Amino acid sequence: MNQIITVSQLTEEIRLSLENIGQVTVRGEISNYKIHSSGHRYFTLKDENAQISCTMWKTRELDFIPKDGMQVIVTGIITVFSQRGNYQLDCFKMTLYGIGDLYLAFEALKKKLSEKGYFDTSRKKQLPHLPMNIGIATSPTGAALRDIISTIKRRMPVVTIYFRPTIVQGDEAEQSLISAIKELENSPAEVIIIGRGGGSIEDLWAFNLESVADAIFNCNKPIISAVGHETDFTIADFVADLRAATPTAAAEIVTPRTRVELIQFIDDLMLLMKKHAFKIIEESREEIDFLWKKSLRQTIFDIIAQYNYRLDDLQNNIEKITIYKFQLTKQKIINYEGLIKSLNPLNPLNKGYALLQYKGKYIKSKESLSKYKIFEIVRANETAEAKLLDILPPKLFNKF
C-alpha cells in the first residue's frame, strides 16, 4: 500500500525534483510582458508548442527593453510556487536573440502606415468640445464597457451613449471591429471610443491589423483608441485621432466637463450677461444725463424721460428673462439625466432580467428562437450558454 502524503509534501517533492534540474538556458518568444509596481518583471516564454511562466526580479539588470514578440535567451532555474501549485522559470539573465513573427509584423505595418501618413498629426481630427452623443465599440461582457459607461454617467449623466457590441479577440474580431466603426460613423455619435482590456500581444492582435487601421483612418468622425493597459501600444493607437491609456481614461477625455462644472459654467455665464446688460444700461443713462445737462428743450427732456422709463423696464425684463432661461436650461439637464438613467441598456440586467445573444449579436424580441440551436443568456454578473430544446406557445399573464 502506498504511503499517504499531504499536498504540501507532494508539492515539496515536486519542487525538489524540478530544482534539481539546475540552471538552464532557454530560447523563446516573450508574451504578456508586464512590469509590476514593485519593479519585478513577469512574462511568458513560448514557442509553437509550449509555454512557461517566467519572473525576473528588478535587481537583475537588462541592457534592452523587452517587448511582446521578441525572441530572447534566458538563463535561470525552475522554481515552484507552492501556494498555487505552479512552476516557473526564475531568470537571472536575458539577452536578445531575435524578433518574433508578431513583433516583426507589427513593426513592418507600423513603418508602412507611417510612410503613408496614417500617423500624421495634421490629419487627426479634433475632438468635440462637449460631446452629448458618444459611441462605444467594445466587448459587451468585458470590464472595459463597465468602466467607460460608469465613468461617463458619473461625470456627465445627460450624455447619450450609442453602444455597438463587438468581438475584440479571435478570428471574427477583425470584421466585427470594422463593422462597428462603420455603424457608429453613421450614428448620431459625435466621437467614437474603440477598445478593450489588457492582454498579451496575441489577445490584442485584432487592433494591429491593416484593415482595422484603414477603417479608423477613413472614418469621418474622431476616434479614441483605448486598448489594453497604459503600457500596451497597438497600431490602432497610432492611427486613431487620440490614444487613451485605459478605457477609463477615454471616458474622462470625452467628458471634459462634469455635470457640476457645466451648471457652474451656466451660472457664471448668466452673471456675466447680467453685468454686461447693466453696463449697457448704465452707459445709456450717462448719455441721457449728458444730453439733459445740455439744457435741451422741455420736449426733448420729456422724450429722454420716456427712454429712462423704457430702460428701467428693459432692465427688469432682461433680468427676468435671463434668470428664466438659465433655470429652464438647468431643469432640462436634470430631466435629461433622469431620462438617460431610465434608458440605460444595462439597467434591466441589474433588476434580474437577461439579454439573449448569438455570436456577439443580441437577438431582438421580434426574432424567433427557432433558428438558433445554441445561444447565450447574458445577465448582470454572468453569461450562460443555452441549448434550444423546443418552442412553446406564449404564456398568458394576468394583468394587474
Within 10 angstroms of residue 141's Cβ, the number of other Cβ atoms is 15
- The helix or strand, by DSSP H or E, that contains position 271, with its residue range, turns out to be helix 259-293
How far apart, in whole angstroms, are the C-alpha atoms of residue 303 and residue 181? 66
The closest alpha carbon to 79, from 89, 94, 64, belongs to 89
Residue 379: its pLDDT value, please?
A: 86
Give residue 101's identity as a one-letter amino acid code.
Answer: D
Query: Which phi and psi angles does 69 have, rounded to 5°?
Result: 100, -15
- Which CA distances in Å does 26 have to 96, 97, 171? 12, 11, 31
CA-CA-CA-CA torsion for 261, 266, 267, 271, nearest 10 degrees?
140
Element (H, E) at 70: strand 70-81
| Alpha carbon distance 374, 391 (integer Å) | 13
d(CA 112, CA 61): 34
Stretch (H or E) spanning 319: helix 298-343
Give the count of alpha carbons within 13 A of 338, CB side only: 5
C-alpha cell at 22: 539546475
> CA 40, CA 64: separation in Å to the nearest integer?
15
Q: Which of 137, 117, 62 is nearest to 94 (CA)?
A: 62
In angstroms, rounded to a whole number, what is the distance separating the alpha carbons of residues 263 and 334? Answer: 10
Side chain identity, residue 196: R
What pLDDT shows up at residue 98?
A: 64
Cα 394 to Cα 312: distance, rounded to the nearest angstrom:
70
Contact 225, 207 (CB under 8 A): yes
Is residue 351 a contact partner of residue 345, using CB atoms and an 8 Å limit?
no
List the grid coordinates of 81: 510556487
Question: pLDDT truncated to tens, each residue of the chain (400 aa)?
Answer: 578 888 888 888 888 888 788 899 999 999 999 998 899 999 999 988 899 999 999 999 888 888 888 889 999 999 888 778 788 999 999 988 866 677 778 888 999 999 999 999 999 999 998 899 999 999 999 889 999 999 999 988 889 999 999 999 988 999 999 999 999 999 999 999 999 988 777 888 999 999 999 999 999 999 999 997 777 789 999 999 999 988 999 999 999 887 777 777 777 788 888 888 888 888 888 777 776 666 555 666 667 777 777 877 878 888 888 788 878 888 888 887 777 776 676 677 777 778 888 887 888 878 888 888 898 888 878 888 888 888 887 765 554 4
Please state which CATH number belongs to domain 7-99: 2.40.50.140
Name the grid cell of 115: 510612410
- Please give the CATH topology (third level) of the domain spanning 128-253: Rossmann fold (3.40.50)
Residue tagged 525552475 (cell numbers): 78
